[in-house]
Amino acid sequence: MLLQLAFTKGEFMAIISCPACGQKVSDKAPECPKCGAAIAGLDKEKLAAMERDRRLNLNQSLVTQSMLAMVLFLAGFFFYWQLPPHGWQYYAAILAIGVGFIWYLVNRVRILMLKRKSKHGL
Ligand SMILES: [Zn+2]
């Protein structure tokens, strides 16, 4: 009886991810408390489509970012070889190599995680 109640309640108050920002929100909330996107009145199909769009956009932005990181890394490397080993430009080049490398790795990992997540979710 109690279990059934909990199940019913769970069904009535499903926690979903906001299709716009990914924040956990009740599907009975009229709008997302974080970004204000409309939640109420969305059916499952529309929610799934919006979630797919959001993942696609995020993936696109991550791909762009990893390309920028790669450019930063290569530019840093280029200046590292071109510049004499002193002065702030030289250290800026080393910094660019480090930041570009880490930024690139972080983006690759995030893309991998995003792919794994969408495989489980859909
Ligand atoms: Zn939101």
pLDDT in tens, 36-52: 888 877 777 887 888 88
CA of 63 to the centre of ligand 1 (A): 23
Are 96 and 109 in a shared domain? yes
Would you give the DSSP letter of residue 86? -
Q: Are the CB atoms for 28 and 12 separated by under 8 Å?
A: yes
CA of 27 to the centre of ligand 1 (A): 12
Are 12 and 70 in a shared domain? no
Are 51 and 93 in a shared domain? yes
CA of 14 to the centre of ligand 1 (A): 16
What domain range is 95 assigned to? 44-122
Domain count, the chain: 2
* pLDDT confidence band for 16 (50 / 70 / 90): confident
Are 108 and 77 in a shared domain? yes
90: Cβ contacts below 8 Å, ≥ 6 apart: 79, 80, 83, 84
CA of 24 to the centre of ligand 1 (A): 8
Are 29 and 82 in a shared domain? no
Are 82 and 31 in a shared domain? no
Instruction: Determine the Cα–Cα distance for residues 111 and 121; give it in Å rounded to an integer.
Output: 15
CA of 19 to the centre of ligand 1 (A): 7
pTM of the model: 0.61
- What's the N-to-C CA distance of the chain in angstroms? 32
